[in-house]
Structure 1
Amino acid sequence: MSAEGGNKAVIAALLANTGIAITKFAAFALTGFASMLAEAIHSVADAGNQGLLLVGSKRSKREATEEHPFGFGRERYVYAFVVSIVLFSVGGLFALYEAYHKWHEIHAGHSSGLDGRWRLVPLFVLGIAIVLESLSFRTAIVETNKVRGKHTWAGFIRKAKAPELPVILLEDFAALVGLVVAFTSVSLALLTNNEYFDVVGAATIGVLLIVVAIVLATEVKSLLVGESASHESIARMRGAIEGTAGVSRIIHMKTLHVAPEELLVAVKIGIDESATAGDIATTIDTVELNLRAAEPMAHNVYIEPDVFHEDYVRDDRPKAPSAPSH
């Protein structure tokens, strides 16, 4: 998946969340609803996160250096992981703190009350926010459908190698659910004149954001540690290698995503014992050409020829010889 589709969804979400955050802060200033403040901070966190994703995308395009010979593609994973931390701390933990703070105020008899001419402002603001967030979520869905293939939504989030779309999908989903929760809690508080509904709303938003942040951190952590190519990609590469003249078999092959659209491929191929040096060189060159044609993401390819025997040690790293006795 190219980064353009992901960046389009990121920019749409950034614009939506910036506008939403401003209106939520204005509504909180007029009414004092904890749910509104929790949602305002949530929107600020989301907008900051989308800014981080754009920075990561830009920095990942830098040319490889001697110190970083495989480039900087993984910076997209690093910034996506930072997003999960921001969502957990700035979004989730702050919402829980605000819920506790509001509860303490009500319990101590220092509540700001629900009367006044601005009491319906939060519902108006939340309604607009739901519309804007829905448009952002729709953009993320459209861009995701272009690359999702046969994967389910959950499967796409687990298997995607580019982090932008999964991050935006999870953020927009959490934002929409949070807005519905805030709208419901504020409505109940206004109808019953009971501000504890506002406390419940803020706490629910906090728990929601923490859960989403944990899911996101788990998925991005796997990418940071290093994931292999997809099963479909591996099958294409194996077919290309095994179909090359002069290759008797694949002894072993390992793949690693060094960036969302870049693969490192290391393969040991079996060749005939009678092959000459020229034959081996030709076979290696042909394998590389066929492999790259089958999988364009294979940017870094390393091929090692070997003669396969039935008693071949399956461990790819032969044991070191034992130390001589004295």
Structure 2
Amino acid sequence: MAHSPRLVVYAALAANVGIAVAKFIAAAISGSSAMLSEGVHSLVDSINEVLLLHGLRRSQRPPDRDNPLGFGRELYFWSFIVALLVLALGAGFSLYEGVNHILSPEPLRDPTLNYIVLAVGAVFEGASWWLSLKSVQRRKGKLSYFEAFRTTKDPTTFSVLFEDSAALLGLAIAALGVYLSHALGDPRIDGWASIGIAVVLALASIMLARESKALLIGEPAQPKLLAQVCSIAGKVKGVEAVNGMLTVQMGPDQVLVAVSAAFDDRLTTVEIEECVRTIEARTKEARLPIVALFVKPQTPERWRERLRELDGTGEP
């Protein structure tokens, strides 16, 4: 069964809300710094899921006169905000709490509730992680996970997978911190566990922010789409050659395409316009995720010159 990005986010949200409440209760009873950091971690993740759902909803609005290219980048914007929240709130609070607990250590009270909450949290986080992992596996095809993450145009599922992975690692660090702190009678270990959680969250945040930034600035579309458009345009009568194209990903399923094509010199302006309309019609028939298609009559030499300008080399 296919899982939509929205379903993956809902599953993660449901898990994080319940776990956050349980962690805060356990932290209040036991006095564990690592458990408090984990509670804030789950709370931040819950806020993040709400923001991702908000971004998904707004990004799917149809184009209008003021926004003719659609609203796809709203999702990229909110994904970037999510990455910043993970760093500022999650990692920032965990670091503060850990340092504070090391400088002013307080002995842990009965850690039993902590272990119960951590075990239950691992079950729910694990279920959410598995759901997001299966969704990523279906989307990545033959690519490695890292390649799929770097080339994805839909950050939603990967954001949830990163959050859940960081959550599971954070649970393991918290459990180890609580155990060693209690077993060795050194409450500072619990503070170091909180700092470890901060490091995990900071690394996840940096990776998510880097990918969201690239999508916000404007990444090119997948090579497969380029090949499809080139094939369609090249088969239109009157088009002598498709020199190439420039693309910008405007959203997960929204692409801006500018095609450079060489037309038969004998064609009139009206006939060239008809060729362009044919290209547009055939791309729509192919159901390609193109929100805007621009075709520019251009000689191969001028196209190569333009590429040299973009490369900044000035060389052929």
TM norm structure 1 = 0.89
More helix by share: 2
Q: Does residue 148 of structure 1 match 2:140?
A: yes
Listed one character per residue, the Cα deviations across residues 2-22 of structure 1 (whole Å, up to 9, x for unaligned) are 9x7111110000000000000
The one of 281, 303, 309 equivalent to 2:273 is 281
The aligned counterpart of 1:54 is 53
SS in 1 for 2:164: helix
1:250 counterpart letter in structure 2: V
Task: Indicate how the Cα distance of structure 1 residues 128 and 312 shifts in structure 2: closer, same or farther if over 3 A, else same.
Answer: closer
The aligned counterpart of 2:177 is 185
The aligned counterpart of 1:197 is 189
The aligned counterpart of 1:101 is 100
The aligned counterpart of 1:211 is 203
Q: Does residue 263 of structure 1 match 2:255?
A: yes
The aligned counterpart of 2:305 is 314
Per the TM alignment, residue 71 of structure 1 is displaced from its structure 2 partner at its CA by 1.9
Structure with greater Cα Rg? 1
Per the TM alignment, residue 192 of structure 1 is displaced from its structure 2 partner at its CA by 1.4
2:21 counterpart letter in structure 1: I
The aligned counterpart of 2:312 is none
The aligned counterpart of 2:108 is 114
The aligned counterpart of 1:321 is none
RMSD: 2.0
The aligned counterpart of 1:224 is 216
Q: Distance in 2 between matches of 1:272 and 1:63?
A: 36
Q: Does residue 243 of structure 1 match 2:238?
A: no
Q: Assess if the C-alpha contact under 8 Å between 1:237 and 1:295 holds in 2.
A: no
The aligned counterpart of 2:66 is 67
Per the TM alignment, residue 316 of structure 1 is displaced from its structure 2 partner at its CA by 6.9
Q: Assess if the C-alpha contact under 8 Å between 2:102 and 2:192 holds in 1.
A: no
Q: Distance in 2 between matches of 1:143 and 1:309?
A: 42
The aligned counterpart of 1:322 is none
Instruction: Tell me the matched-pair count.
Output: 308
Per the TM alignment, residue 249 of structure 1 is displaced from its structure 2 partner at its CA by 1.1
Q: Assess if the C-alpha contact under 8 Å between 1:229 and 1:263 holds in 2.
A: yes
The one of 276, 290, 293 equivalent to 2:282 is 290
Q: Does residue 132 of structure 1 match 2:124?
A: yes
Listed one character per residue, the Cα deviations across residues 145-202 of structure 1 (whole Å, up to 9, x for unaligned) are 2211111111111111011011111101100111111111111112212212211110
Task: Indicate how the Cα distance of structure 1 residues 27 and 312 shifts in structure 2: closer, same or farther if over 3 A, else same.
Answer: closer
Task: Indicate how the Cα distance of structure 1 residues 258 and 35 shifts in structure 2: closer, same or farther if over 3 A, else same.
Answer: same
SS in 1 for 2:139: coil
Task: Indicate how the Cα distance of structure 1 residues 155 and 97 shifts in structure 2: closer, same or farther if over 3 A, else same.
Answer: same
Q: Distance in 2 between matches of 1:291 and 1:127?
A: 52
Q: Assess if the C-alpha contact under 8 Å between 2:255 and 2:289 holds in 1.
A: yes
Q: Which runs of 5+ in 1 are unaligned?
A: 319-326
The aligned counterpart of 2:293 is 301
1:85 counterpart letter in structure 2: L
SS in 2 for 1:251: strand
Q: Does residue 82 of structure 1 match 2:81?
A: yes
Q: Distance in 2 between matches of 1:70 and 1:53?
A: 21
Task: Indicate how the Cα distance of structure 1 residues 81 and 179 shifts in structure 2: closer, same or farther if over 3 A, else same.
Answer: same
Listed one character per residue, the Cα deviations across residues 190-237 of structure 1 (whole Å, up to 9, x for unaligned) are 221221221111000001101110110000000000111111211222
1:314 counterpart letter in structure 2: E
Q: Assess if the C-alpha contact under 8 Å between 1:263 and 1:298 holds in 2.
A: yes
Q: Distance in 2 between matches of 1:35 and 1:259?
A: 38
SS in 2 for 1:147: helix
Q: Distance in 1 between matches of 2:300 and 2:38?
A: 64
Percent of matched pairs sharing the same residue? 31
Q: Assess if the C-alpha contact under 8 Å between 1:237 and 1:291 holds in 2.
A: yes
Task: Indicate how the Cα distance of structure 1 residues 260 and 310 shifts in structure 2: closer, same or farther if over 3 A, else same.
Answer: closer
Task: Indicate how the Cα distance of structure 1 residues 135 and 159 shifts in structure 2: closer, same or farther if over 3 A, else same.
Answer: same
Task: Indicate how the Cα distance of structure 1 residues 127 and 249 shifts in structure 2: closer, same or farther if over 3 A, else same.
Answer: same
Q: Which runs of 5+ in 2 are unaligned?
A: 310-316
Per the TM alignment, residue 282 of structure 1 is displaced from its structure 2 partner at its CA by 3.0
Q: Assess if the C-alpha contact under 8 Å between 1:92 and 1:210 holds in 2.
A: yes
